[in-house]
């Protein structure tokens, strides 16, 4: 009679995580589609022509239909993961490993530490809900809980062209393989960027630069009108491959699915799903050479629980690095790792990486400044990242000797050596510490 091995627990809980992920994460967009077609707001709109009733109820009804969006995803996840069906597996495992037959471990955390088992982040959430907040702690250290991935994300929808006849470029905008996203070909043309997640950073690689500043403006839907965003545009109107367009995410930002015409047209006439949308618009009359993008990404808002802790689902990248001149860069930390709930992301399985957001036309030697897994300040000069560095290229990060993970990126101790004068890359955690089994 054998004890519960790490491999057995990992295989079983991977299957549980896959089922939980299918239940609470994957359907979120399709659920929004169904809500838009069959939800509360649609019902009121289709069954009442009373403008007073619609004015009184539609906003609240639409809010119910959007409950799975990132702003509420933490609450949604907590409810979905908290069902006893998921938790009963961990209740049974906990009872077994603490029994004489299962090894007589004092706690579930002690079993994890002894066996070396590593749980998928979503499985870790289920374990905490079922067994208590300290279930994955042994002594004072978190054990067995792999950290969520931390990376840039694709937009759920990308539309380009003239309002009223927009082209769906979602697939092309998600891939850096080909320069195939022509943008702002004519005056007043737009790029509509739609996401389940709120965001404040748009990242893009330009294969063709605009011949002149396109006069970029950005807008968001505040529930009553399209309001203008104050953009910080490192592309200088698409004339430089600066990679970043940022803004402060508005507190009154409301999901939408229509363009900015006086008689608004649906962005997605089939699904009618409402997503957090930013519309970028060209205002320059004459642009002889319009820009072309290879890909367009976003930095998503973190998904947290009611206490502000990161949930065990994909999260924003650790940092963004912008090359500003020869041997100079600006490092912007985005999201610290959640070391109090998960094992800090480390170099096992080559999970920590640099990800090129734009093409970079020279070798790059980056020194990573960071706080290590134990909370100590550290630096590590990387080996040279050699050209060609195309958008989407990756470089595996090394940590200082003895360091198994990092808690955060320290902008003040990062440095760069390069002859490139522009370019953007992200510090990401894009692979779990071990291979995740399938359902």
Task: Based on the fold, state whether residues 274 and 207 are members of the same structural domain.
Answer: yes
Last residue of a domain, one of 104, 121, 142: 142
Same domain, 157 and 238: yes
Residue 277 sits in the same domain as residue 345: no
Residues 337 and 295 in one domain: no
What is the pTM (predicted TM-score) of this model? 0.95
Same domain, yes or no, for 21 and 133?
A: yes
Pick the closest to residue 278 from 249, 301, 306 (CA basis).
249
SS3 265: coil
- State which of 142, 162, 194 marks the end of a domain: 142
Range of the domain at 114: 6-142
Residue 40 lies in a domain: yes
> Are 168 and 279 members of one domain?
yes
- Please tell me whether residues 296 and 423 are part of one structural domain: no
| Chain segment 39-69, per-residue pLDDT in tens | 888 888 889 889 889 888 888 888 888 888 8
Residue 280, domain CATH: 2.60.120
Residue 308: inside a domain: no
Distance CA 218, CA 40 (A): 30
- 351 and 295 assigned to the same domain: no
Q: 313 in a domain, yes or no?
A: no
Q: Is 206 exposed, middle or buried (0-12, 13-18, 19+ CB in 10 A)?
A: buried
* CA 125/CA 130 separation, integer angstroms: 9
Q: Total domain count for the chain?
A: 3
Outline where DSSP puts E strands in 181-290. Answer: 181-182, 190-195, 199-208, 216-221, 226-229, 232-233, 244-246, 276-282
**Which of 142, 175, 197 is a domain's end point?**
142
Q: Are 257 and 267 in contact (CB under 8 A)?
A: yes
Going by C-alpha positions, the residue among 41, 414, 434 that lies closest to residue 254 is 41
Tell me if 434 is assigned to some domain. Answer: no
- Residue 218 is assigned to a structural domain of this protein: yes
Query: Is 89 domain-assigned?
Result: yes
Is residue 177 situated within a structural domain? yes
Q: Is 238 left (phi over 0), alpha (psi -120 to 50) or beta?
A: left
Q: What are the percentages of helix, strand and coil residues in the chain, rounded to 5?
A: 25, 30, 45
CB 275 within 8 A of CB 45: no
> Tens place of pLDDT for every residue, the chain, 439 residues?
468 999 999 999 999 999 888 887 777 778 888 887 788 888 888 898 898 898 888 888 888 888 888 888 888 888 888 889 999 999 999 999 999 999 999 999 999 999 999 999 999 999 999 999 999 999 999 999 999 999 999 999 999 999 999 999 999 999 999 888 999 999 999 999 999 999 999 999 999 999 999 999 999 999 999 999 999 999 999 999 999 999 999 999 999 999 999 999 999 888 778 999 999 999 999 999 999 999 999 999 999 988 899 999 999 999 999 999 999 999 999 999 999 999 999 988 789 999 999 999 999 999 999 999 999 999 999 999 999 999 999 999 999 999 999 999 999 999 999 999 999 999 999 999 899 987 6
Nearest to 424 by CA among 234, 248, 149, 211: 234
**Structure confidence by residue, pLDDT tens digits, 162-179:** 999 999 999 999 999 988
Query: Does a structural domain hold residue 33?
Result: yes
> 273 and 184 share a domain?
yes
136, 155 contact by CB (below 8 A): no
- Which helix (DSSP H) or strand (DSSP E) does residue 368 occupy? strand 364-372
Burial class of residue 96 in the structure, from the number of CB atoms within 10 Å of its CB (0-12 exposed, 13-18 middle, 19+ buried): middle
Q: Are both 78 and 184 inside the same structural domain?
A: no
Q: How far apart are the first and last CA of the chain?
A: 26
């Amino acid at each position: 009679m054998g004890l519960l091995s790490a491999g057995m627990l990992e295989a079983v809980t991977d299957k549980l995580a896959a089922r939980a992920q299918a239940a609470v994460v994957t359907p979120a967009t399709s659920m929004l589609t169904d809500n838009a077609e069959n939800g509360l707001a649609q019902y009121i709109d289709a069954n009442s022509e009373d403008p007073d009733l619609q004015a009184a109820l539609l906003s609240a009804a639409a809010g119910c239909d959007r409950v799975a969006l990132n702003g509420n995803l933490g609450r949604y996840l907590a409810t979905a993961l908290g069902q006893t069906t998921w938790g009963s597996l961990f209740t049974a495992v906990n009872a077994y490993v603490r029994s004489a037959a299962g090894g007589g471990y004092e706690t579930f955390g002690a079993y994890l530490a002894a066996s070396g088992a590593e749980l998928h982040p979503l499985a870790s959430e289920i374990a905490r809900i079922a067994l208590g907040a300290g279930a994955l702690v042994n002594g004072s250290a978190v054990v067995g809980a792999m950290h969520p991935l931390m990376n840039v994300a694709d937009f759920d929808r990308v539309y380009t062209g003239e309002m009223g006849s927009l082209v769906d470029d979602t697939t092309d905008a998600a891939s850096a393989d080909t320069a195939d996203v022509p943008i702002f070909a004519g005056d007043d043309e737009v790029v509509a960027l739609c996401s389940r997640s709120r965001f404040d950073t748009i990242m893009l690689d330009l294969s063709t630069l605009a011949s002149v500043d396109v006069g970029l403006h950005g807008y968001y839907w505040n529930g009553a009108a399209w309001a203008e965003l104050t953009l910080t545009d490192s592309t200088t109107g698409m004339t430089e491959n600066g990679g970043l367009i940022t803004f402060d995410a508005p507190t009154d930002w409301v999901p939408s699915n229509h363009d900015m015409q006086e008689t608004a047209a649906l962005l997605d006439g089939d699904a009618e799903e409402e997503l957090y949308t930013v519309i970028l618009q060209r205002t320059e009359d004459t642009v002889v050479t319009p820009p072309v993008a290879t890909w367009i990404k976003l930095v998503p808002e973190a998904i947290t629980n009611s206490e502000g802790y990161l949930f065990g689902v994909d999260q924003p990248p650790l940092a963004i690095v912008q090359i500003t001149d020869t041997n100079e860069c600006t490092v912007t930390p985005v999201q610290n790792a959640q070391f109090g709930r998960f094992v800090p992301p480390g170099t096992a399985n080559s999970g920590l990486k640099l990800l090129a957001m734009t093409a970079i036309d020279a070798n790059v030697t980056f020194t990573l400044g960071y706080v290590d897994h134990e909370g100590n300040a550290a630096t590590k000069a990387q080996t040279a990242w050699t050209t060609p560095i195309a958008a989407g290229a990756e470089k595996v990060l090394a940590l200082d000797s003895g360091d198994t993970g990092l808690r955060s990126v320290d902008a003040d101790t990062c440095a760069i050596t390069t002859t490139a004068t522009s370019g953007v890359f992200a510090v990401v955690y894009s692979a779990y510490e071990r291979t995740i089994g399938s359902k």
